[in-house]
Amino acid sequence: MDTLKNSSAQVWNFVSAPALHPMKVTINVNKPGTASGLLFVAPYTSYEATMIGQTGALIMDQAGNPVWFRSLDSIYKQNTNFRVQSYQGEPVLTMWQGTASGTQSVKPDLPLGTPEPGAYYLIINQNYKVIKELTARKGYTADIHEFTITARNTALFTAVKQVPADLTPYGGPEDGYFNDYSIQEVDLTTGQLLFFWNALAHVDPADSMAAAFSARIANNIWDCFHVNSVEEGANNTLLISMRNMWAIYNVDKETGNIIWQLGGKQNDFVFGPEAAFAWQHNARHRPGNRISLFDNACCSLISPPKGPAHGLILRLDFRNMTANVDRAYYHDPNLIVPSQGNVQKLPNGNQFVGWGQRPYLSEFANAGNTEKDSFLNFLYDMQFPNRNMSYRAFKNEWVGLPFYPPSIAVEPSYEASAIVYASWNGSTETVAWQILAGPTPYKLSVVINSTPRTGFETKIEVTLPGPYFRVNALNSSGQIIGISRIAHVYEDRTVLS
């Protein structure tokens, strides 16, 4: 990965928050009918590309303005699955954090997308305080693909471990390894491991669509399964997606047995037209015996793309064991997406799609579209700079109430007494700023009662002299909800006290 790029054309730079440099985005489509909510992404890029801005966790409004940004200290670290969940009845932010193979070296030591040791999950409350950190159990590494807080306040997640094995029966090296994925459930209060299921014990590696000789380019590690999503279903079941099997499994959680398999070499269903998928991500239950997924339709070392990627909803008939297309969601223009991606149902019925390895996120009206008519029901489209990407993207309602104060910076001005810059990273309730100034820190008075907040950082010209300044954050009722530190402006610099 090339060094961080911070050109002002593609990266936000803030006077009041000089350490934050999130990427700037482009809005390609913005039509009426989109759902309310903020956008949640976790930008990073591949090793051979230039990272635009910082990696980390980013909340934006629909215009592309940053709302909250938690940057990471290295371009080789990343977050994934950054979204809103509920924990103990309260909204929280959750994410994975670590380094994934393929972002730090041209010759990765693990199969692409596999987490490096030391990865963990984070739960962050509405005040942006980290309230939980969680790692995987039984020698497995916390995996980038899934972390869900259940209604029981437990954590259900994927984890991975390299298991030594002779791979010659599959066409691989003798001194090889399986990249074995597990599903784990942990009690978030006690830390107790409540459930464990691993792919190697239940799925035949010979059914993999990823050739075993591919292990030779990843330290003899064969990524035969590549579990990339898990979701609880009815009757104590788990819906599990395995990208490299081209299959989705319904698993009995009590016995660990596979109840049925959709796709892959042991497929239990007959696919209707356009219903078959490949290299898929993010399988989710939908009402009425339906399953949604992100169909990458791409790629491997030896097979070309099978078509453009798209969000896909399948209707399953368990009496006749058939699977037919219910809805599809293609990008306009069509995209080839080798990895990652997700489909999210929004409260108003719209569908929200993160395009994974491609730098887009989109919103569609529920009716969807086709490959040839991809412009239909295409309501919203955001594009990231260069080859920045986000493993998944989400649209969620969120109220952020930072525990830290607003930020202020002041610059002297020839046209006014000073220019004040105000921001409050993560505050969703600030709608205006009140400016105070005075000759000493102890004699401040209101010089601007209320000026509207504009984007992440608001620039305000002040005509009355300081040299001491403070900003108060105001909510929609005009109440003060945050007070900054006091800034003392000199001719060439600002000092906070």
pLDDT digits (tens, 9 = 90+) for 104-121: 766 779 999 999 999 999
Whether the full predicted model's pTM is greater than 0.85, yes or no, is yes
The DSSP string of 181-211 is EEEEEEETTT--EEEEEEGGGTS-GGG-SS-
The mean pLDDT value for 189-199 works out to: 97
Q: For the chain, what are the domain ranges?
A: 2-396, 407-496
Q: What pLDDT is stored for residue 6 in this prediction?
A: 61
Sole residue written with tokens 């949640």: 40
In this prediction, residue 491 has a pLDDT band, given cuts at 50, 70 and 90, of low
Give residue-wise pLDDT tens across range 412-443: 887 768 999 999 999 999 999 999 999 999 99
Number of other CB atoms surrounding residue 324 within 10 Å: 15
pLDDT greater than 60 at residue 259: yes
Strands (E), 243-390: 247-252, 258-263, 270-271, 281-286, 290-295, 310-317, 322-330, 342-345, 351-354, 360-364, 378-383
pLDDT greater than 70 at residue 495: no
What architecture is the 407-496 domain classified under in CATH? Sandwich (2.60)
pLDDT greater than 80 at residue 302: no
The mean pLDDT value for 315-344 works out to: 98
Dist CA 416 CA 340 (whole Å) = 50
**DSSP-based three-state secondary structure for 217:** helix
Q: Does domain 2-396 have CATH number 2.130.10?
A: yes
Dist CA 394 CA 325 (whole Å) = 23
